[in-house]
Structures are given as C-alpha cells and as structure tokens.
Amino acid sequence: MTAERDLWLHRAVECPDAHRRLIAFPHAGGSASFYREWGRHLPGTDVLGVRYPGRAERIDEPAPTDLVRLGGQIAAALAGLDDLPLVLFGHSMGAVVALETARALQARGVRPAHLVASGSRAAPLPPPAPADSDGDDLALRLAALGGTDPEMLADPFFQELVLPYIRSDGEMFHGYAHRTGPVLHCPITTIVGDVDGDADRRPWPELTDAGFREHVVPGHHFYLVDRPPYGLLTDLAEVGR
C-alpha cells in the first residue's frame, strides 16, 4: 500500500487470493487492532482495519472532530482499492463513519458492494444526548463494554492516554447531524444484539435504494467481542459473487 493508505488502513493478515475487501471501522475509542484477527476467519477476504487519527500508531495526531470530513478522508485513502468489491463494516460509531465513507466513495464514482452497520438498528433517531453525557464515566463504560480489562481501566496512565480520545470520539459522534441523503446505491445490513440497550438508532432503510436487512444476534452492544459475525459476513460474500 502507499504511504497515505498505510496511514489510514492496516492489513494484519495477507490474503493473496482475495475476491473482496472488507473495510472495518472501529467503534468510539477503538482502533484498527480491534479487527486484527478477522482476516484469519474470513476466507477470500482482504481485511483492512481503519486507523483513526489520535490513537495507537497515530497518537500524536489530533483526534477527528468532524465525522463527515473523516469519512471523506477515509474514502480518499481507499482510492484505487475498488479493483475488488468493497464491503464496509462499522461497529457503533464506526457504522456511521462507514456510512459517510460510502457516501464519499459514491461521490467519487465508486459504489461499495455492501454496508454493514453493527451495533445499530433501524429505528427513528433518538433525541439529542444530554450535554454532559460524554464525560469520563461514559468513556470508561464504553471501554469496559469493549472488553478492556478492569485493572487496565483503573490504571491512571491508561486513563490519561485513552480517555481523551474516547471522549473526543463521543463528542464527534453526538455532534454529528444525521443526513437523509445522498441515498446509497448499495445494500445495507444491520446487526444488533438482542439485549443491546446501547444500540445506535438510525432510519437505515431510508438511506439506501438497494435493499435493507436487519439481523438480531445474541448479546449486548459488544456482542462481536465474543461472537464476531464471521458467518454472516461470509454469507454476504457468497450472495454477492
């Protein structure tokens, strides 16, 4: 990959016989390493995790503040990678970053093969979050939901390093003004845990003219920590071939 692509995208597992690419967008406070094992479980799939600024390898950069702009930057980094079908998979906040990336790709003349919005369900938009809902307590809860070890959560160095960008992501996400268009020309699939009380709510069927499906799976908001949706993603690939 080029230097610009290496900045934004991480391939943990090589897949020389790939017949599609899965672009994986992390949740708020997440990083590309969240998806580091996925390439081992999705045959024929070139898995690229998205590297957001302000964390991990990009810790010295400012965290993003504009979700639409972030989607445009990621779309630019994906230029030239549409030689294989592009499936965009995003979890929680990452689902909306994937949506804006898909829109930016479409504006560039690239139609994604599929958008998968995980940790989100089809429903009317909720009311705006309270102004103080993204403090350190919420950031710690998000980190805990994502599987972070409790001892690590209590570590002052961890809190100093990680909480700022979790909080920043939350502010960016809740500051995002939902847009009804442009409508996508690719199918959208949502995946939501059956006991997920933190699922993003969004009118997904209205955001595409190419079909919508919702899958309910066992688990809470971070169902995919213990049960990554490999089977579903493999089935989507077979349908698209």
Task: State the average pLDDT for the chain.
Answer: 89
Q: In whole angstroms, how far apart are CA 13 and each of 1, 2, 22, 101, 199?
A: 14, 17, 12, 23, 29
pLDDT tens digits, residue range 36-79? 999 999 999 999 999 999 999 999 999 999 999 999 999 999 99
Q: HSE on the CB side for 86, CA within 13 Å? A: 27
Q: Against a cut of 0.75, is the pTM above it? A: yes
Give the pLDDT of residue 162.
78
Question: Counting beta carbons within 10 angstroms of the beta carbon of residue 107, is it exposed (0 to 12), middle (13 to 18) or buried (19 or more)?
Answer: exposed
Catalytic residue of the set 92, 118, 120, 168: 92
114 is catalytic: no
User: pLDDT class for 141, splitting at 50, 70, 90?
Assistant: low
Q: What is the spatial distance between Cα 69 and Cα 9, in angstroms, rounded to a whole number? A: 17
Query: Bigger pLDDT: 155 or 13?
Result: 13
Give the pLDDT of residue 142.
61
Range from 34-43, 65-74, 79-88, 140-149 carrying the lowest mean pLDDT: 140-149
Query: Bigger pLDDT: 122 or 135?
Result: 122
How confident is the model over 74-94, as a mean pLDDT? 96
221 is catalytic: yes
